[in-house]
Amino acid sequence: MSDIIGLLGGTADLIKSTKSFYSIFKDAKGQPEEFRNIAAKFPLVLQILENAENEAQRTKLDDGARNAAEDNIKTCKEKVETLNKIFKAVLRKDDDNWLERYKKAVATLGKGERAEQLMREIMEYIKLVTCDKLMGTATSAQFEQLQEAIQEMLDLPSSITEDSTSITQYHTGAGHNYANTIANSNTGSAPQINSNAGGAIYYNSKETP
């Protein structure tokens, strides 16, 4: 479990770094309102990751479950890294010319995914890992908070509006082009979970949100 614990800790450290960076520019002129909503979710994500890191030391998994958990945490960490880079590329003090920087960052760093989409996916991976792959590392209350936070990201207006200049897409080689992809955690392959009970949440889902 040492690899999983290390990945959870590394992801938590990246969230802390992004949170600290944002705190410097939280009152920056002209920043997208969506950035404020995203930053408001950092304390919840940190709490769950740190709790999972502690509880994972007492969790025993077979090779298949461990590998699946590691893969999901790695993907989550990658998305946190991307969000961190977007924040750093966009936010400036006393400079409201953020839109062009943001569109470029979304196209090149986010591969078409806006900041609120990345934050939603980060929380979906955390929910998947802590409520399924590492059963019992997230409480019922934390699960409910995650569900609400994910829905809030889905309900946010796009941080790049329809009347903005369209995002220039940079895409070469094989793989997916994500610029027009908007996932919904309530449909498709994302986990479907309902619980009114207390305690840990147990459910089956596909490997990735």
69-78 per-position pLDDT tens digit: 999 999 999 9
Helix 63-90 crosses helix 98-108 at what angle (to 10 degrees)? Answer: 150
Q: How confident is the model at residue 2 (pLDDT cuts 50, 70, 90)?
A: confident
pLDDT of residue 96 exceeding 70, the answer is yes
pLDDT (average), residues 78-89:
97
Looking at residue 111, its pLDDT comes to 95
Q: Do the beta carbons of residue 207 and residue 176 sit within 8 Å? A: no
Q: What's this model's pTM, rounded to 2 decimal places?
A: 0.77
pLDDT (average), residues 96-100:
86
Higher pLDDT, 110 or 139: 110
Higher pLDDT, 143 or 205: 143
Higher pLDDT, 182 or 104: 104
Q: What is the pLDDT of residues 21-66, one digit of tens each?
A: 999 998 887 788 899 999 999 999 999 999 999 888 888 888 888 8
Q: Could you give the 3-state DSSP secondary structure of residue 207? A: coil
Q: What is the pLDDT of residues 114-149, one digit of tens each?
A: 999 999 999 999 999 988 778 778 888 999 999 999
Looking at residue 162, its pLDDT comes to 60
What is the residue-averaged pLDDT of the chain? 80
pLDDT (average), residues 188-192:
41
pLDDT of residue 178 exceeding 60, the answer is no
Candidates 54, 53, 51, 44; CA nearest to 15 is 44
